[in-house]
Structure 1
């Protein structure tokens, strides 16, 4: 096999093999206190949806696979203070039926800060 062919095969292998990395997750609600004055909508003025995450560096609509969470989509922006890096994601969590504001806020914030492995879906 020629060196050129070997290099092409290695490059192709790289494009198929995901590049795993650590992501730091925080979690947010649809409550007014955790959203902009526009309310519970994304930066694209669409309703917040399960599987949506906020990040200011990763392009909108990028799909990310996260261990334990499955595939999520960057569909929102967050505070530059926290989400101006490519490994920090704010995960939207939907309210459970009948859950009042206090319990919803407490439940979501009890998730704390989590570190999970994941990769950008190509």
Structure 2
């Protein structure tokens, strides 16, 4: 069973969002998604200042198996992209909820949590798939 931290919110397409005390939201892909992709070879992320939109593609991740779209769990403006991932995608596989984070976003509004699943709902989705 994949790890599902309780301090995050989830999209059905296996992206997560975690709010920090300053209101910035960090996003990435779940352990389940990382394990399904397998060995990663490339990632494309937006730049600082770019806008991202709820459930819309913000980048791509490529593995030896496939190229997959990365969808944003929130709408807002990118304040930081994890530049480490452009050199090596290993943190996504090794630590998807910590070192493998992808973007830090200033949300456009506070309603984003109500649009996502909590950890229990996401875990139920994994168990039923």
TM-score tier (shorter): under 0.3
Structure (1 or 2) with the greater strand fraction: 2
After TM superposition, the score normalised by the length of structure 1 is 0.27
After TM superposition, the score normalised by the length of structure 2 is 0.26
Q: Name the larger-Rg structure.
A: 1
